[in-house]
Amino acid sequence: MSEPVDPVQRAFLGVEQSVSGQRWMNRADQAAQNRALAMSQVHGIPELVARVLAGRGVGVDEAPAFLDPTIRNLMPDPSRLTDCDAAAERICAAVNRSERVAIFGDYDVDGAASSALMYRFLHHFGIDAEIYIPDRIFEGYGPNAAAIDQLIDRGAQLIITVDCGSTSIEALGAAERRNIDVVVIDHHQMSHEMPPCHALVNPNREDDLSGLGHLCAAGVVFMVLVACLRRLREEGHAYARSLDLLAWLDLVALATVCDVVPLKGLNRAYVNKGLIAARHQNNAGLASLLRIAGIGGPVTPYHFGFLVGPRINAGGRIGDAALGSRLLTLEEPAEADKIATKLDELNRERQAMEAIMLAEAEAEAMAEYGTGETASVIVTARENWHPGIVGLLAARLKERFKRPAFAIAFDPSGKGAGSGRSINGFDIGKMVQAAVDNGLLVKGGGHAMAAGLTVERGNLGRLRAFFDEQAATQVAALASNQTLKIDGAIGASGATLALIDQLEAAGPYGSGHAQPIFAVPMHRLRDVRPVGTTHVKITLEALDGSKLEGIAFRAAETELGHFLMNNRGNQVHVAGTLGADHWQGNRRIQLRVLDAAKAP
């Protein structure tokens, strides 16, 4: 007698291979389904919400607290971070002595938000602080000795690096030689060698036991500021009682979402409470960006990640790298509107450049790797690419080939500035650090999902071979197990605003806490039409005549887009995420289509 087949192991709706090559699977195994039932019965949590929580590993007893992530409950004592007390002591000394402070940040959203947080804190206490953001093209990532010397020449008595500095041994040596203290606040992976500095707060340093390595830089900066404020209040500083750090969580949430760090633990509280702060629009710069991006409804992680973040990044990619951090420090709406408008213009220019470069990158990748099925890591490189856009190219290549991907822009001298993006389950930052340790890169670093590097053209072939060797086994295993985890099946009539509100209670969603994905089975593709140049909009119709609008972003030239366009009028299975689209004051349900399959 044969063993009974575990129903959880069967493909969801029988979809063994979707149009995008994925096997649809039930996210919740039998144990998770049992937990969901218990959650619903014990705590009165709606059944579908309980299923979403259980499918993401939340226990029955943990559920109530998970649905209400608070800073009070999820933030540990900042002193658990190695060197946090030393950093707080030195920053507070600068406050008490009214020293001039220079803040050295990175040119992305996390760097801009981190710089703005530190600036706002020091400004509250009357400290003359200068933000320095390096030029991506001419200076590259992180501190450099020339910039450090410039800051000291201009009077800096303390230098604080945020979202950078952990591997800047030579640059920080310039400050050490001139007897200027440096406090490093970072989250990137680092080598064994420590840079010369007064304090290095990085939950990813080897001797840090805080368990907070999932924080972005702004999240670490916030914890340092909590320690600073606690110290200043204990000292009885006159302005310490009037400062409400929680009002600045909008910046922490923005950085947490845009840096794609896992939304677990403290990060969930950061984003949950930060979204509330953002909806109050107390930050003039952030409010200007929200307006210019046309965000009509309540701010969501999607708005941060896909509308606000790219505009801030545009300054660092192809314009003035300091625009983003400057915008987030402003109090005057009129001045904020000017910078937000400039960033919006730069973002449109960036989009046009990206379209051209992406076509070239995809053509090169196809010529080098074919469909990519036998590749471990996709590496593309050209001399005419803008180095500020290579990270976006890497992200698009990763999406298309479902492999870790790098794009590298070489200058005429043969030095390449590159950026990489990874797939879930493969730590790209460690691989880049290993390449540095093996002498293949001039410099490089990053974290699990994203990394940057500098490479000489003569080492490109060796680097490709090294990446391929490092990633082959793990990436092959990940690629051979391409599945789409489905949280449940719904019909068009079941996709309601009430359901969306219930699902939002289990958010915020993002990296490490995936947006729920639902299958819409056996619906007719009533209408299919292209939107813009890259999107495909659809209307699904159930047997009872109820309809559900959906959109597949950037799908026009993909297998998914082709399938949808060629199946108008047919019955299909569609999978995607549910959301509420705000238009002219009204909320409308919209399915973001991620995959599809033929219906029997």
Q: What is the 3-state secondary structure (H, E, C) of 41-52?
A: HHHCCCHHHHHH
Write down the residue that tokens 């990436």 correspond to.
475
Say yes or no: 135 and 277 in one domain. yes
Neighbouring C-beta atoms of residue 123, cutoff 10 Å: 13
pLDDT of residue 113: 98
Please say if the pLDDT value at position 373 is more than 50: yes
Q: Note whether 202 and 305 are same-domain residues.
A: yes
Given a cut of 70, whether residue 266 has pLDDT beyond it is yes
DSSP state at residue 21: S
Complete DSSP assignment for 374-428 = T-SSEEEEESSS-TTSHHHHHHHHHHHHSS-EEEEEE-TTSEEEEEEE--TT--H
Q: What is the pLDDT of residues 438-454, one digit of tens each?
A: 999 998 988 888 899 99
Task: Indicate whether 222 belongs to any domain.
Answer: yes
The label of the residue with tokens 């082709």 reads 562
Residue 600 pLDDT: 85
What is the average pLDDT score of the chain?
Answer: 93
In a domain, 355, yes or no: no
pLDDT of residue 77: 98
Which DSSP string corresponds to 130-178? EEE---TTTT-SS--HHHHHHHHHTT-SEEEEES--TT-HHHHHHHHHT
Q: Are residues 276 and 181 in the same domain?
A: yes
Q: Are residues 303 and 441 in the same domain?
A: no
pLDDT at 81: 98
Q: What are phi and psi of 415, to 5 degrees?
A: -95, 130
Residue 481's pLDDT is what? Answer: 79
Do residue 33 and residue 158 come from a single domain? Answer: no
- The CATH number of the domain holding residue 508 is 2.40.50.140
pLDDT digits (tens, 9 = 90+) for 545-554: 999 999 999 8
Q: Which two tokens stand for residue 432?
A: 């880049």
In a domain, 351, yes or no: no
Q: What pLDDT score does 557 carry?
A: 86
pLDDT tens-digit map of 162-211? 999 999 999 999 999 999 999 999 999 887 889 999 999 999 999 999 99
| Listed residues 481, 509, 544: the one ending a domain | 481
Number of domains in the chain: 4
Write the burial class of residue 94 (CB in 10 Å: 0-12 exposed, 13-18 middle, 19+ buried).
buried
Which percentage of the chain shows pLDDT scores above 90?
83
Same structural domain for residues 60 and 85? no
- The answer to whether position 363 is within a domain reads no
Rounded Cα gap, residues 111 and 119, in angstroms: 12
Q: Find the CATH number of the domain harbouring 131.
A: 3.90.1640.30
Q: How far apart are CA 449 and CA 214, in angstroms?
A: 11
Res. 482 pLDDT band, cuts 50 70 90:
confident
- Give yes or no: residues 464 and 392 share one domain: yes
| Residues 399 and 271 both lie in one domain | no
Whether 557 maps to a domain, the answer reads yes
Q: Are residues 321 and 205 located together in one domain of the fold?
A: yes
In-domain check, residue 543: yes
pLDDT of 370 higher than 90:
no
The residue that leads in pLDDT, 344 or 510, is: 344
302 & 266 share domain: yes
pLDDT given at position 176: 97
pLDDT tens for 87-130 read: 999 999 999 999 999 999 999 999 999 999 999 999 999 998 99
pLDDT of residue 5: 39
| Model confidence at 457: pLDDT above 60 | yes
Q: What is the CATH number of the domain that holds 378?
A: 3.10.310.30
pLDDT the model gives residue 8: 45
Say if 46 falls within a structural domain. Answer: yes
Q: Judging by beta carbons within 10 Å of its beta carbon (0-12, 13-18, 19+), is residue 485 exposed, middle or buried?
A: middle
Residue 161 has pLDDT above 90, yes or no: yes
Tell me which residue range forms the domain holding 51: 28-66
Q: Residues 406-435: pLDDT tens digits? A: 999 999 999 999 999 999 889 999 999 999
446 and 432 in contact (C-beta within 8 Å)?
A: yes
Residue 2: pLDDT band (50, 70, 90) is: very low
Q: Is 141 found in the same domain as 44?
A: no
pLDDT band at 585 (very low <50, low <70, confident <90, very high): low
> So what's the pLDDT on residue 3?
37
Q: Does 357 reside within a domain?
A: no
- Whether 555 and 412 share a structural domain: no
| pLDDT at residue number 584 | 64
Highest mean pLDDT among 132-141, 379-388, 579-588: 379-388
pLDDT band at 318 (very low <50, low <70, confident <90, very high): confident
